[in-house]
């Protein structure tokens, strides 16, 4: 084998090893993803995450109505989420569009049009919980945990709900994206 081919092979193997090391274990992904799931639903929740090659996969099959998402590897943020299974088609479409290189505004506009045209199903109500924090590099536990709750009610408005449509102090509810497919009540607990 000549030197350029050997060097190329080494680089491919080295990059593969580095990438594999960036993906947390299946068990860690499942355990931390389940932190976003309300306690009553944790045992039977389905969990999506990443295999050691970085592919988005099912890590754990579920037996109830909740789906949890493991933290996306490769950035310095820690965030997991959990949602009612009726949102799965909507969430999967967002992941597909992001993989195609679409930004947040494009994803919003595309899904808005698809929901309005009846090509994308959006439930009339559903819950999403987002769990954030920082990874303690020594213990691998999550420090500074913080949970944000989102209640989707598509096309709701301030008038139809009686909620303000501008951010409120933590602990108070408000309606984000009013009048759209992604209208949702935000409840951000005060940080401790």
Exposed/middle/buried for 122, CB within 10 Å: 0-12, 13-18, 19+?
Answer: buried
Both tokens of residue 3? Answer: 């030197």
User: Mean pLDDT over residues 172-184, rounded?
Assistant: 95
| pLDDT digits 0-9 by tens, 100-143 | 999 999 999 999 999 999 999 999 999 999 999 998 888 888 99
Place of tokens 């590099």: 137
- Taking each helix axis from N to C end, the angle separating 88-99 and 104-116, rounded to the nearest 10 degrees, works out to 140
Distance CA 44, CA 51 (A): 21
CA 182 to chain centroid, in Å, comes to 15
Confidence category of residue 22, pLDDT binned at 50, 70, 90: confident
Percent of the chain with pLDDT over 70: 88
Q: What is the pLDDT of residue 12?
A: 36
Q: 31-59, pLDDT tens digit by residue? A: 999 999 999 999 999 999 999 999 999 99
pLDDT digits (tens, 9 = 90+) for 158-173: 999 999 999 888 778 9
CB 72 within 8 A of CB 54: no
Residue 126 phi, psi dihedral angles, 5° rounding: -165, 160
Query: Nearest to residue 97, comparing CAs of 113, 74, 76, 85?
Result: 113
Q: Which two tokens stand for residue 79?
A: 């965030």
Q: At residue 183, does pLDDT exceed 50?
A: yes
pLDDT the model gives residue 188: 76
């Amino acid at each position: 084998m000549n030197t350029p081919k050997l060097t190329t092979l080494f680089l491919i193997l080295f990059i593969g090893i580095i990438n594999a090391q960036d993906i947390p274990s299946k068990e860690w992904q499942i355990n931390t993803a389940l932190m976003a799931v309300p306690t009553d639903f944790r045992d039977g929740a389905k969990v999506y995450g990443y295999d050691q090659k970085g592919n988005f996969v099912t890590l754990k099959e579920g037996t109830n109505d909740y789906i949890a998402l493991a933290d996306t590897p490769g950035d310095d943020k820690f965030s997991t989420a959990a949602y009612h299974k009726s949102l799965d088609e909507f969430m999967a479409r967002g992941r597909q569009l992001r993989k195609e290189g679409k930004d947040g505004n494009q994803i919003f506009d595309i899904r808005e049009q698809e929901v309005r045209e009846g090509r994308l199903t959006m439930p009339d109500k559903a819950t999403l919980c987002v769990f954030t924090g920082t990874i303690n590099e020594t213990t691998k536990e999550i420090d500074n945990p913080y949970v944000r709750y989102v209640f989707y009610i598509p096309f709701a408005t301030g008038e139809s709900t009686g909620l303000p449509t501008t951010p409120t102090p933590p602990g108070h509810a408000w309606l984000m994206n009013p009048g759209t497919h992604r209208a949702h009540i935000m409840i951000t607990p005060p940080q401790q």
